[in-house]
Amino acid sequence: MNRRTLLGGLFAAASVPALAACSSGITSLDGEGGASGGGGSSKDGVTIGTANFTENQVLGFLYAAVLEAAGVQTKVRPNLGTREILIPALRGGDIGLLPEYQGALLHYIDPKAEATEEGEMQNALAMSLPVGLQVLPYGMAEDSDAFAVTRETADRYGLATLADLRKQNGRLVIGAAPEVKKREVGVVGLKDVYGVEFKEFKSLDSSGPLVKGALKKGDVDVANLFTTDTDIQANRWVVLTDPKNLIPGQHVVPLIADRKADSTVRKALAQLGNVLTTADLTELNRKVDKDKKDPEDVANAYAKEKGLTR
């Protein structure tokens, strides 16, 4: 859920295995990693890496489930860390496939990229990805930044889109992670694109207990959350729409090594992408985070229920 939390990234980078790998300059994750991830084609199997948060792991296991059903051998390496670890591992051949998010990946590869619309971003990714890597067609599910208000706030001020916030300039308090104060997808962009000015910025966390607690209690009026956060539905919070495309799309997109991207793999992942919705993904996250289920079981059960596997 905290896909772009920089704090999370820093802490993960400081965790012991990651540190050991960095400091010794070892790019291989294990001795035989190259064999499974770096082989000639998907016939040799595909190693799927995932980042250090629930949703990405669920996606990794979903990829594994549909690929296995298509006859491709897979191995999932969950919880490897952040992009700073995963992308080099993919380039080095230790992993072959990685569930990614359009906007966040594009920004990582090219910090100056301006595309925010899905199609444009797909093109921009195709142009800027390093040689040997490609993105497959993006899926329906999306985990993007969202600005949400409570149902009561939405009714009282007549809020439906980010543009509506302007009518209440100087009256509303926004709660978000500290970095959002200086981000384009944050206070800066809301002012530049929508002319919105807040009464105050409360520096809290990324879609975590603090910002959600503050929104619930009415200590903040607007909260920066992620669209797949299960508490949005549970509390009937209203996500303000973004008619001017300030927030880059964050559709789930498979990032894959060229040599693994054969037609079997493409077809299986495209099929999953067309079935898995944002609501589905939110529900899968809830099962892991709130019901404490195993991400692999949750992914397998979903794939079976949707007829993606037998």
Partner 1 sequence: MYELFKNLGDWLVSGEQWTGPDGIGHRLAEHLQYSLLATLVAAAIALPLGLLIGHTGRGAFLAINLASFGRALPTVGLVVLVFLASGLSMWPVYVALVALAVPAIVTNTYAGMNAVDPDVKDAARGQGMRWHQVLFQVELPLALPLIMTGLRLALIQVVATATIAAYVSFGGLGRYVFDGLAQRDLVQVLGGAVLVAVVAVVLDLALSGLQRVLFRHRPA
Binding site for partner 1 (CB under 8 A): 6-7, 10, 175, 177-179, 181-182, 202-205, 209-210, 213-214, 217-220
CA-nearest of 238, 171, 178, 248 to 208 is 178
Nearer to partner 1, 19 or 160 (CB): 19
Closest separation in Å from C-beta 182 to partner 1: 6
Alpha-carbon Rg for the chain, nearest whole angstrom, is: 20
**Least separation in angstroms between CB 219 and partner 1:** 3
Question: Which tokens hold the place of 120?
Answer: 């444009």
The residue among 118 and 205 lying less far from partner 1, judged by its C-beta, is: 205
Least CB distance to partner 1 at residue 269 (A)? 32
Minimum distance from CB of 29 to partner 1 (Å)? 25
Closest CB to partner 1 among residues 142, 205:
205
- Reference 11, options 41, 52, 55, 43; nearest CA is 52
Enter the DSSP assignment of 94.
S
Give least dist CB 190 to partner 1, A: 17
Choice between 230 and 241, CB closer to partner 1: 230
Query: 60-86 burial, b if ≥16 CB within 10 A, otherwise e?
Result: bbbbbbbbbbbebebebbbbbbbbebb
Task: Extract the runs of DSSP E, i.e. beta strands, from the chain.
Answer: 46-51, 74-81, 97-101, 133-135, 145-149, 173-176, 200-203, 222-226, 238-239, 252-257
Minimum CB separation of residue 202 from partner 1 in Å reads: 4
Nearer to partner 1, 62 or 225 (CB): 225
Instruction: Using the minimum distance from each CB to partner 1, give the nearer residue, 6 or 160.
Output: 6
The DSSP secondary structure of 21-55, one letter per residue, reads HHHTT---SSTTHHHHHSSSSGGG-EEEEEESSHH
